[in-house]
Amino acid sequence: MSPPLRIEVVTEADRLWAVEAAWWDLFARCPAATPFRSPAWLLPWWRTFAPGPLSAVAAWHGDALVALAPLYLEEASRRLLPLGIGLSDDLDMLAAPDAGPEVGDAVLDALASRGGWDAVSLEELAPGAAGLGWDLPPGWRDDVAAQSRCPVLSWGDAGVVVPSGKARKLRMARHRTERRGGTVELATEATAPDHLDALFRLHAARWESRGEAGVLADPAVQRFHRDATPRLAAAGLLHATILRIEGRVAGAFHGFRRGRMLYAYLGGFDPAFAFESPGTVLMGHAVDAMAAEGAGALNLLRGEEPYKYEWGAVDRVNSRRLLRRPAP
């Protein structure tokens, strides 16, 4: 018989860091959870941004953490929002597969006992997310709506089937790169900082060529990635590559990997190498690296950029669920 469920509302950053080891244990028991729900991602996010009072809910069976809803209060809107918002593509609660449906009820009960807020906004919930299954207390209002399209390229054990037009462009890009001695390097924990330097530089060059800044122009966002990326690498969750052509960095792919899912997060390339199509070469390398191990998927994350569909990706739609409790 398992011990009774114990609920803790975490309001201090020191306590959130103190549960890191238990958080990692919970993450390991949730094989479907993405790197966006790991301590390697969310703890640096909180340390960098901390946009409002912390109001995370932890559920324990004895010394084992069985669920974590990392939330904070946006005081202007009186909404509880998930840690990681804005930079993450999956913001569901982390819950052990055997935690039971009562965990969601317990989280809402714990939140309901606290004042200062009017609604819980659960953002970027993938199909099947735990947050979509929470039962509401009597009198609460519920609003679920489509939020973001996340194109996903999936394949079976037979391998990847890339549309013929894209496959031809990939072959051409590879031939052009090979003729100039192009090589692809996989980042390690030791080389992750150098990879980030290249990513920041190339991402800026790409957006400046369009007369725009890009998300990485924000110094706070750069600080966050410098904090999170080595932690992701140490946990085996980083999949980042650099393409070198004639000794120069021509492109960078910054992604994450867990199990048979690869997440294409950010990229950049030197406009001087546009003829070689570094982005296409690096995406093809990522697909091949995953497909070599059998069935899997490449999640191209939020956004409906045309290049994603050229690879044969199919939309997966994330949802927002807004839970409003009754006015006092």
Give 299's Cβ-side CA count (13 Å radius): 25
User: What's the 3-state SS for 125-144?
Assistant: ECCCCHHHHCCCCCCCEEEE
Identify whether 80 is part of a domain. yes
* Average pLDDT of the chain to the nearest whole number: 93
Report the domain count for the chain: 2
Per-residue pLDDT of 154-164, as tens digits, reads: 988 877 788 99
Q: How many CB atoms lie within 10 A of CB 22?
A: 17
User: 112: helix, coil or strand?
Assistant: helix
Identify whether 301 is part of a domain. no
Share of the chain above pLDDT 70, in %: 98
Q: Which of 270, 250, 284 is nearest to 182 (CA)?
A: 250
Identify whether 109 is part of a domain. yes
Give 257's Cβ-side CA count (13 Å radius): 20
Q: What is the CATH number of the domain that holds 205?
A: 3.40.630.30
- What is the reported pLDDT for 2? 62
* Same domain assignment for residues 170 and 263: yes
The answer to whether the CB of 46 falls within 8 A of the CB of 38 is: no
* Same domain assignment for residues 139 and 164: no
DSSP string, 137-189: PTT-EEEEEEEEEEEEEEEBTTB----HHHHHHHHHHHHHHHHTT-EEEE--T
* Same domain assignment for residues 136 and 173: no
Mean pLDDT of 129-157: 92
* Same domain assignment for residues 19 and 40: yes
Identify whether 152 is part of a domain. no
Identify whether 221 is part of a domain. yes
Identify whether 163 is part of a domain. yes
Mean pLDDT of 176-181: 96
* Same domain assignment for residues 238 and 269: yes
* Same domain assignment for residues 142 and 170: no
Asked if pLDDT for residue 311 goes beyond 90, the answer is yes
- What is the reported pLDDT for 248? 95
**Band of the pLDDT at 212, cuts 50, 70, 90?**
confident
Identify whether 310 is part of a domain. no
Per-residue pLDDT of 60-97, as tens digits, reads: 999 999 999 999 999 999 999 999 999 999 999 999 99
Identify whether 306 is part of a domain. no
Mean pLDDT of 268-289: 94
* Same domain assignment for residues 179 and 277: yes
* Same domain assignment for residues 162 and 251: yes
* Same domain assignment for residues 136 and 255: no
38-47, 85-94, 95-104, 117-126: the lowest-pLDDT one: 95-104
- What is the reported pLDDT for 57? 97
- Domain residues for 236? 157-294
* Same domain assignment for residues 25 and 124: yes
The answer to whether the CB of 256 falls within 8 A of the CB of 263 is: yes
Asked if pLDDT for residue 301 goes beyond 60, the answer is yes
Q: How far apart are the first and last CA of the chain?
A: 38
Name residue, tokens 């609460």: 140
- What is the reported pLDDT for 295? 80
* Same domain assignment for residues 127 and 189: no
* Same domain assignment for residues 102 and 24: yes
